[in-house]
Amino acid sequence: MHLRSRGKTLNVSLSVLLCSLMLLLGACGGGGGGGSSTPDNSVTVSGTVTYEFIPHNEDFIGLDYSAIETRPVRGAVVELVDSTNTPVAITVTDDNGFYSAAVEANTVLRVQVKAQLQRNQAPSWNMTVNDNTNNNRLYALVGSEASVGDSDSQRNLHAPSGWNSGNYATSRPAAPFAILDAVYTSLQQFVDAGYSGNFPPLQLHWSVNNNTADGDLTRGEIGTSFYFDNEIYILGSVDEDTDEFDSHVVVHEWGHYIEDALGRSDSIGGPHQYGDYLDMRVAFSEGFSNAFAAMMLDDAIYRDSSGFNQSNGFMYDVREKNHPAQGWYSEASVESVLYNYFLSGTNKTAKDFSPILSTLTDSSYYNADSLITIFLFAERLIARYPAHRSALEGLLDEQDINSINQYADNETNSGNNSINLPVYKNLSIGGASTSVCSTSEHTDYNKLGVNQFLRLSITQSGNYIVRIERSGGDFVTQSDPDFFIHSRGEIIHEGASSANDVELQTVDLDTGNYIVEIIDYANVGRSSSVTTCFNVFIARQ
């Protein structure tokens, strides 16, 4: 690479620039034309790109290697690369996996299909599958190098799963393309719903080394498939947990990206499972992503394979309505409401994703003063689509969610603990302190009742003293009250000292509406059920 002459480097750069420009102008799209100017003595190289998809068993538990399907690689970037590793044409596959490009006759080249979805006209996207255990390099399906000859030719490329006689081979070429295809299916739903915005770039990280140890990401110790900070990591460890063919898992995580990238999410993440009493921000985000996966894939059965030969796993139907925990704090309730609303044909078009999408991307939603919860979503959706009110309200009612106001006014479901009502308490300036309690009854930091929420309205900018003081609750020697002040999804101030039983901070606040989150940090991860109560006071300095 370093031995390249200056002229050659320039040619390479120009070539790539030209191809990129043509992609930008759309000339390379849709598997139609080639990505560079057509030479006089050009020939056409075309073909179809496919990959092996391994479906789940008929009972949805585990993968069925006896039913392997061949599917087209759709929307992927195809490069025709010459012997100096220079792309001489760039295009993308169409919905049948077909590509076509014109190149100079007798050029020696290979076809390279990148694990990359790219579209440059609105809605634009650029999403790749990279190996986090190999310097985040991009995967590409690569054909053999040969002359194109002096007539048109076809080069069909197929990505095998690598499964042979009961085992995977070292290389599993289909995996990155299975992940991409789940994303592509979802992107098409956005196009069909009329979305015209652009998607921020996204890297999905997958490797055969991606295992369930929680450690160094570059070694593949990713713990589980997850979304974090505009990146997705997907498990790939054989006989342990692979997720490349678990499309619902891939799209669930992609749903978290969509929330963050196109709307807003206030989720604090963390472990969650069926039947949990969750922090309402987590319940909404996880319930949304479960329902979202079913909507995008048009398949209500969420399934996740794992174990020896990927033969184990679990499944459930997101349409289910009977759940052990029902309410605004239950991801099962949220997914049930959202998915059954999606299915509903009452005063709306069944399976029309656009009302949900337009609500998520509405500025009144992502700029809301309240937190992102089922309450806000319901309020904003009904505001945009009043005719859908009866359909949505009926579903909310079935899940014992009793308010369609972003601040959960008049909610009566306490999650079996009165400290959780009202959902948002009021905090007044210089007035009486507000009493809140934090509980560890549901054990983890992201469960119902650990965090409590207060509404705060500031009419005069300035410095304010915030004081939180232990006032009662169970007899425990230690509590550690902390607070976080949220402004439209951002934490703008925090008081998180380790002082026992008290927190005192001065914060500067502009006029506006805020949410103050109170937590007893000592209740995070406490092994027994403890409730501690505090007086919260704020005054202008």
Please list every residue from 113 through 152 that binds other proteins, using CB under 8 A.
113-114, 130-131, 133-144, 146, 149, 151-152
Whole-number minimum distance, CB 458 to other proteins, in Å? 21
Q: Closest distance between other proteins and the C-beta of residue 39, in Å?
A: 18
Taking CB under 8 A as the criterion, the residue among 228, 390, 416, 508 binding other proteins is 228
Q: How far is the CB of 493 from other proteins (least distance, A)?
A: 10
User: Least distance in Å: CB of 159 to other proteins?
Assistant: 6
Distance CA(380)–CA(527), nearest Å, equals 38
Instruction: Work out which of 5, 165, 459, 528 binds other proteins, going by CB under 8 A.
Output: 528
Specify the pairing of strand 76-82 against strand 108-119: antiparallel
User: Which x/- pattern, by CB under 8 A, does the window 417-436 give for other proteins?
Assistant: --------------------
25 three-state secondary structure:
helix
410 is a site residue for other proteins (CB under 8 A): no
485 in contact with other proteins (CB under 8 A): no
Q: Cβ 135 to other proteins, closest distance in Å?
A: 4
User: Helix or strand or coil: residue 518?
Assistant: strand
What residues numbered 325-354 form the site for other proteins, per CB under 8 A? 331
Please answer whether residues 36 and 14 qualify as being in contact, where contact means their C-beta atoms are separated by less than 8 angstroms. no
Rounded Cα distance between 419 and 426, Å, is 14
Query: Least CB distance from residue 181 to other proteins, whole Å?
Result: 15
Tell me if 101 sits within 8 A of 85, measured CB to CB: no
Applying CB under 8 A, what is the total number of residues that bind other proteins?
99
- Token pair for residue 104? 């100079």
Edge-to-edge strand list for the sheet holding 481-487: 424-427, 451-458, 512-520, 481-487, 490-495
Residue 251 or 404 having the CB closest to other proteins: 251
Amino acid at 504: L
- What number of residues does the chain have? 541
Q: Which of 37, 122, 192, 314 binds other proteins (CB under 8 A)?
A: 314
What gap in Å lies between CA 158 and CA 142, rounded to an integer?
A: 10
Of 301-309, 338-346, 367-375, 505-513: span binding other proteins (CB under 8 A): 301-309
User: Is residue 18 involved in binding other proteins (CB under 8 A)?
Assistant: no
Based on CB atoms, which residue is closest to other proteins, 167 or 460? 167
Report the site for other proteins in 493-512 (rule: CB under 8 A). 494, 496, 498
Interaction with other proteins in 154-173: which residues (CB under 8 A)? 154-160, 171, 173
108 sits near other proteins (criterion: CB under 8 A): no
Applying CB under 8 A, the span of 26-34, 94-102, 249-257, 341-349 interacting with other proteins comes to 249-257
Per-residue binder mask for other proteins (CB under 8 A), 24-63, x = binder: ----------------------------------------
Identity of residue 532: T
From the CB of 308, what's the least distance to other proteins, in Å?
Answer: 8
Q: Measured from the CB atom, is 93 or 344 closer to other proteins?
A: 93
Nearer to other proteins, 119 or 155 (CB): 155
Nearer to other proteins, 126 or 428 (CB): 126
Question: What is the distance between the alpha carbons of residues 249 and 232, in angstroms, rounded to a whole number?
Answer: 11
Residue recorded with tokens 């690369």: 81
In whole angstroms, how far apart are CA 370 and each of 204, 234, 303, 486? 31, 32, 33, 9
Residues in 194-213 that interact with other proteins by CB under 8 A: 203, 211-213
- Which is closer to other proteins, CB of 85 or CB of 511? 85
Query: Is residue 62 within 8 Å of 311, Cβ to Cβ?
Result: yes
CB of 309 to other proteins, least distance (A): 12
* DSSP bridge pairs for 447: 278
Phi-psi group of 57: left, alpha or beta (phi > 0 → left; psi -120 to 50 → alpha; rest → beta):
beta
Round to whole Å and give the CA distance between 121 and 118. 10
Tokens 């109170």, residue? 518
Describe the strand order of the beta sheet including 462-473 as a list of residue ranges. Answer: 434-439, 531-540, 462-473, 502-509
Residue in the block written with tokens 């974090």? 228
Of positions 227, 353, 366, 385, contacts other proteins by CB under 8 A: 227
